[in-house]
């Protein structure tokens, strides 16, 4: 058995320490994001790290399954939250039930996800996010995406992009193409893992060769509104949503940072429409993501549509350092120019892995 001294030399799997230099930079980054959210009318909220497991499971069974669990003094199962969207949906249906929508909320909080130990999936991570409840599509998505892009600009990023898809597009396309339930499930799982090689292999087993080739093209389709044309008649509702959202973002001047990604899938099952992920070409991982969840709040007793996004603060922090011209951006948010103490933060991140 390990001694206390031995255990003190390491941390539980998936956890990490943050030292003063890095903590100062993370605080400055959080302040820049918070300032942008609050100035746009989003009020900051805080929810407990612990929720009843049944509440998380009602929101999404995967969210409950990904959590650390313990018992309270009455024997009820508690779980550390694995994301903030479900707790805020609960909050909107209960404590905020008397407030007239739309509700604009923001948060800065840690989330926890158990599972296999991997460098790119730590078990504790800091999220910064916004939730817009009661404003329907596509205006809700346009506001959330535009504000997210603006917040990242205020944090010093210059090259960030947003990939936009639709949670119903691929399931609808697979049904339209006549793909059986088992194969459809396997394809969707491969898309969720971003495993396009697996998608192509699975498509090769479809008897209708044309259907298989169309599936592969759609899964790989990324670009502007032109990528919608080949599937417009097959999944008209998804195409209409994506096209209309792109029009709104073009009108606000944000479309140049938008990439339509027809194969995009998000991890949680509560998404009902538009989904998106935030990228920066300076780093090889997503900085965050979100989407529309029109059925989630109703699971806690209130009919209210919703759309939101969560940013991984640690990943945004690393993207700051990786971008060209970071020095000037760092001064804007009170950070430390690269080549100073920021290098220590980069090394610690590399050693302990990025956050999801």
The CATH code for residues 21-168+235-352 is 3.30.930.10
Q: Which residues belong to the annotated binding site?
A: 83-85, 113, 127, 131, 266, 270-271
Q: Which residues belong to the annotated binding site for L-histidine?
A: 83-85, 113, 127, 131, 266, 270-271
- The secondary structure of 107-131, three-state, reads EEEEEECCCCCECCECCEEEEEEEE
| pLDDT, position 311 | 98
| pLDDT, position 222 | 97
Find where tokens 């603006």 sit: 150
Asked whether 186 and 158 are in contact (CB, 8 A), the reply is: no
For the chain, 356 residues long, the average pLDDT of each consecutive 10-residue run is 82 90 96 98 97 94 81 95 96 98 98 76 92 97 98 95 98 95 95 94 94 96 97 97 98 97 93 97 92 98 98 95 58 40 40 34
| pLDDT, position 257 | 97
| pLDDT, position 119 | 60
| pLDDT, position 339 | 36
Distances (CA, A) of 316 to 26, 32, 147, 308, 322: 9, 12, 15, 17, 10
CA atoms within 13 A on the CB side of 5: 0
| pLDDT, position 328 | 45
Domain chopping of the chain, boundaries: 21-168+235-352
Tell me the β-bridge partners of 80.
Answer: 50
| pLDDT, position 117 | 66
| pLDDT, position 346 | 44
Asked whether 125 and 318 are in contact (CB, 8 A), the reply is: no
Rounded distance between C-alpha atoms, residue 315 and residue 323, angstroms: 12
Asked whether 133 and 105 are in contact (CB, 8 A), the reply is: yes
Asked whether 103 and 147 are in contact (CB, 8 A), the reply is: no
* Cα 86 off chain centre by: 13
| pLDDT, position 331 | 43
Asked whether 346 and 335 are in contact (CB, 8 A), the reply is: no
Q: Is the peptide bond before 5 cis (omega within 30 degrees of 0)?
A: no
| pLDDT, position 47 | 97
Find where tokens 């999220």 sit: 127
DSSP-assigned letter for residue 13:
T
> Model pTM?
0.88
């Amino acid at each position: 058995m390990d001694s206390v001294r031995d255990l003190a030399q390491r941390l539980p799997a998936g956890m990490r320490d943050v030292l003063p230099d890095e903590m100062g930079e993370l605080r400055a980054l959080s302040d820049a994001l918070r300032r942008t959210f609050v100035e746009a009318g989003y009020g900051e909220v805080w929810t407990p790290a612990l929720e009843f497991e049944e509440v998380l499971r009602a929101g999404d069974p995967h969210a409950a399954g990904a959590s650390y669990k313990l018992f309270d003094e009455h024997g009820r199962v508690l779980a550390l939250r694995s994301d903030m969207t479900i707790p805020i949906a609960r909050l909107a249906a209960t404590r905020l039930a008397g407030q007239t929508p739309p509700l604009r909320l923001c948060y800065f909080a840690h989330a926890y996800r158990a599972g296999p130990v991997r460098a790119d999936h730590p078990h504790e991570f800091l999220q910064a996010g916004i939730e817009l409840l009661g404003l329907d599509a596509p205006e809700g998505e346009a506001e959330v995406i535009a504000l997210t892009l603006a917040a990242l600009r205020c944090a010093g990023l210059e090259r960030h992009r947003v990939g936009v898809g639709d949670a119903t597009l691929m399931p609808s396309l697979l049904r339209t193409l006549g793909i059986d339930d088992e194969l459809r499930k396997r394809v969707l799982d491969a898309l969720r893992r971003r495993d396009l090689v697996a998608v192509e292999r699975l498509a090769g087993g479809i008897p209708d060769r044309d259907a298989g080739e169309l599936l592969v093209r759609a899964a790989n389709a990324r670009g502007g509104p032109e990528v919608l044309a080949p599937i417009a008649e097959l999944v008209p509702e998804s195409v209409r949503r994506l096209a209309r959202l792109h029009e709104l973002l073009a009108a606000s001047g944000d479309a140049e940072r938008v990439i339509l990604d027809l194969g995009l899938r998000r991890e949680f099952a509560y998404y009902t429409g538009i989904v998106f992920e935030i990228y920066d070409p300076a780093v090889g991982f997503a900085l965050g993501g979100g989407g529309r969840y029109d059925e989630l709040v109703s699971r806690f007793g209130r009919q209210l549509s919703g759309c939101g996004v969560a940013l991984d603060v640690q990943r945004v922090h690393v993207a700051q350092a990786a971008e060209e011209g970071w020095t000037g951006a760092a001064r804007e948010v009170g950070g430390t120019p690269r080549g100073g103490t920021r290098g220590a933060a980069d090394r610690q991140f590399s050693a302990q892995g990025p956050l999801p």
